[in-house]
Amino acid sequence: MAGKTAIIASNGTLFDAYKVYNIATAAAASDHEVAIFFTFEGLNLINKEAYGQLPLPEGKEQIAEGFAKGNVPAIPELVEMAQELNVKFIGCQMTMDLFGLEKEAFVDGIDVGGAVTFLEFAKDADVTLTF
């Protein structure tokens, strides 16, 4: 492994999803060990019901056209790619409880853990990012 990248995803719009998954897949493709900790609205990015239809940030709806033209991959496609590249997904237990969500609501293959689970991974990471 060439390095280690730790990401916190705490927001739930389409923009946030691209920021998180683009960096995550690029890091994984560069041989980084990558983990994403999904918390609060960030849980939308792995929520089976939500992740295929994430909203644009308020006032940015006109960007939808740009996404269509830009040939950017759909979020579920990026999620699949990230998992194929062994990016580790960690759902935040505390916010899942808060929102009344079970592990089954999310894409397959996620771990569920608390803040310490993420901190254990992040303590010796080369890159740590928050979105």
Stretch 61-80: interaction string toward another protein, x if CB under 8 A = ---------xxxx-------
Stretch that binds another protein, among 28-36, 38-46, 47-55, 96-104 (CB under 8 A): 28-36
Tokens 């950017």 locate to 72
User: Using the rule CB under 8 A, is 127 a contact of another protein?
Assistant: no
The least distance separating another protein from the CB of residue 51, rounded to whole angstroms, comes to 18
Tokens 């990248």 locate to 5
The least distance separating another protein from the CB of residue 74, rounded to whole angstroms, comes to 11
DSSP class of residue 114 equals -
Instruction: For residues 126 and 6, give the distance between their C-alpha atoms in angstroms, rounded to a whole number.
Output: 8
What is residue 69's three-state secondary structure?
helix
The answer to whether 3 and 126 are in contact (CB under 8 A) is yes
DSSP class of residue 47 equals B
Instruction: For residues 68 and 14, give the distance between their C-alpha atoms in angstroms, rounded to a whole number.
Output: 13
Stretch that binds another protein, among 27-35, 46-54, 57-65, 95-103 (CB under 8 A): 27-35
Select 26 or 98, whichever has its Cβ closest to another protein. Answer: 26
User: Using the rule CB under 8 A, is 115 a contact of another protein?
Assistant: no
Contacts to another protein from residues 29-48, by CB under 8 A: 29-31
User: Using the rule CB under 8 A, is 5 a contact of another protein?
Assistant: no
How many Å from the N-terminal Cα to the C-terminal Cα in the chain? 24
Counting residues that bind another protein (by CB under 8 A) gives: 15
